[in-house]
Amino acid sequence: MQQPGGNARYTASVVRRTLHRSPVAPPVVLVREVTRTLPLGDTEVHVLHGVSFEVASGEWVAITGPSGSGKSTLLGLIAGLDVPTRGRIVVDGRDITHLHERDLARLRNEHIGIVFQTFNLIPTLTAQENVEAPLYVGPKRREARARAAEMLERVGLADRRDHRPHQLSGGQQQRVAIARALVTEPALLVADEPTGNLDTTTGAQILDLFGRLRDELGVTIVVVTHDPQVAARADRILHLVDGRFASDADAYAVQVASDGGAA
């Protein structure tokens, strides 16, 4: 006999992922020849030089690379926080390349969950109220309350609903931020150095949570990190160097490179 439930759970997870990645499903993220040039005094900084990639539905991709390589800039473009100088970006079937701020804001609210290194919770609100916040423009108050409570339960914080951020540990604050990001049931979760402010054990627990939520909710995940061990948790790693992809390696190859002392 197998361990109780273990094998069935694994099989269900694989079936779900296989379905998510069926070739008929369009990619959740499509980036084509994207450049980003930022003004700097009298000159310009070329941050991204023609980056192209896709992320399949249900896939977990890590974008890694040294500090200053353009990771956060690229994530900001996928998240609709910034617009590219040239190229094309499609998220969840919507071409967001030329959207105006109002439409981008709606897209972020409805289709993209964003998690930051510093959690960015509203300090005066309880955990429950922080998670409800994205729903104020949507469902009615009572439904918002129920959905936020359900998400807090999913991230293991059912008993911390009435705590404010300063009454929570870093790991707990990041769980609240993840619940807030997913409460609108977005197709895409993006995270910029989500474990950067956490100790190794707590960071690993947050990555476990990402994996579980991907399997349970079918959400597509893009994580930016400079940490090879965090990147190794993804299905696929894209390595950014000076605004270009160096390789589209699997976790093993990048792990070997980092063990060998390379950046």
Ligand X SMILES: Nc1ncnc2c1ncn2[C@@H]1O[C@H](COP(=O)(O)OP(=O)(O)O)[C@@H](O)[C@H]1O
Nearer to Mg ion, 36 or 71 (CB): 71
Nearer to Mg ion, 157 or 237 (CB): 237
Q: Is 72 in the site for Mg ion (CB under 5 A)?
A: yes
Cα→Cα distances 215→20, 142, 207, 241, Å: 10, 27, 13, 31
Site for ligand X in 70-89 (CB under 6 A): 70-73
The reply on whether position 239 binds ligand X by CB under 6 A is no
The single-letter code of the amino acid at 66 is: P
Query: Does position 262 bind ligand X by CB under 6 A?
Result: no
Computed over its alpha carbons, how large is the radius of gyration of the chain?
Answer: 19
* 41 contacts ligand X (rule: CB under 6 A): no
Q: Where are the alpha helices (DSSP H) in 1-119?
A: 6-20, 71-78, 101-111
Instruction: List the structure tokens of 193.
Output: 């150095």
Does the footprint of ligand X cover residue 34 (CB under 6 A)? no
Count CA atoms within 13 Å of residue 76 on its CB side. Answer: 13
Q: Which is nearer to Mg ion, 168 or 234 (CB)?
A: 234
Q: Which stretch binds Mg ion (CB under 5 A): 65-73, 123-131, 170-178, 199-207?
A: 65-73
Q: Which two tokens stand for residue 33?
A: 């020849």
Contacting ligand X (CB under 6 A), which of 67, 140, 159, 201?
67
Residue 190 interacts, among Mg ion, ligand X, none and using kind-specific CB cut-offs from 5 to 8 Å, with none
- Helix (H), strand (E) counts: the chain: 9, 10
Query: Which residue's CB is nearer to ligand X, number 58 or number 243?
Result: 243
Residue-wise over 164-191: b if at least 16 C-beta within 10 A, else e? bbeebebbbbbbbbbbbbbbbebbbbbb
Q: How many binding residues for ligand X (CB under 6 A)?
A: 12
* Segment interacting with ligand X, rule: CB under 6 A, options 60-68, 138-146, 181-189, 246-254: 60-68
220 is a site residue for Mg ion (CB under 5 A): no
The backbone region for 223, taken as left when phi is positive above 0, alpha when psi lies in -120 to 50, beta otherwise, is beta
The CB-of-66 to ligand X minimum distance in angstroms stands at: 7
Under a CB-based contact definition with an 8 Å cutoff, are residues 206 and 117 in contact?
Answer: no
Interface positions with ligand X (CB under 6 A): 38, 40, 45, 47, 65, 67-73
Q: Which residues are at the interface with Mg ion (CB under 5 A)?
A: 71-72
